Amino acid sequence: MASSPSPSENQLIPRSEVDSQLSSLVFAGIRSEFILFTIADLSQQVQTAMENMLKMINEIDENSTGIMEDIENCKNNALERKRTLEEQKESFQKAAFSVLDMLNNKDIGYN
C-alpha cells in the first residue's frame, strides 16, 4: 500500500517567497487604495472646477445682460440726440432762409 508523503517530502514554498508574495499583495492593495483616493480627489477637483466655471458663466451672462441694456440706452440716447440736432438744423435753415428772404425783399424794394 502506498503511504502518503510526509510534509518534508512535499514541496514547501520557502518563507522568503511567501513573504514576498504577501508584500506584493499588500503593496497592490495599498496601491489600489491610493489610485482610488487619487481618482476621488481628481474627481472632486474637476467637480469644483466645473462649479466655478458655471458661476463664472452666470456672472458673464449677468454682465452681458447689463452691457446689452447699456448699449440699448446709448442707442436710444443717440437717436434722441440725432432728432434734436435735426430739429435744430431745420430751425437754423428756416431762420437763414427768412434772413435771405428779407434781404432779397429789401434789395427788390431799393430797385
Please indicate, yes or no, if residue 18 is contained in any of the structural domains: no
Does the predicted model carry a pTM greater than 0.75? no
Answer whether residue 7 is part of any domain.
Answer: no
Q: Is the pLDDT of residue 44 over 60?
A: yes
Whether 106 is in a domain gets the answer: yes
Compute the CA torsion angle 21, 27, 33, 37 (nearest 10 deg): -160
Query: What value does the mean pLDDT of the chain take?
Result: 85
Per-residue model confidence (pLDDT) at position 88:
98
Compute the distance between CA of residue 27 and CA of residue 19 in angstroms, rounded to an integer.
12
- Residue 4 resides in a domain: no
pLDDT in tens, 65-103: 999 999 999 999 999 999 999 999 999 999 999 999 998
Distance in angstroms (rounded) separating the CA atoms of residues 81 and 75: 10
d(CA 104, CA 24): 115
Please report whether residue 62 resides in a domain.
yes
What is the total count of domains within the chain? 1
97/94 Cα distance (integer angstroms)? 5
Q: Please give the C-alpha separations between residue 44 and each of 17, 67, 77, 88, 94, in angstroms, as whole numbers.
A: 40, 34, 49, 65, 75
Residue type at position 79: L
| Whole-angstrom distance, CA of residue 73 vs CA of residue 46 | 40
Domain extent, residue 43, equals: 25-111
Q: Taking 80 as the threshold, does the pLDDT of residue 28 lie above it?
A: no
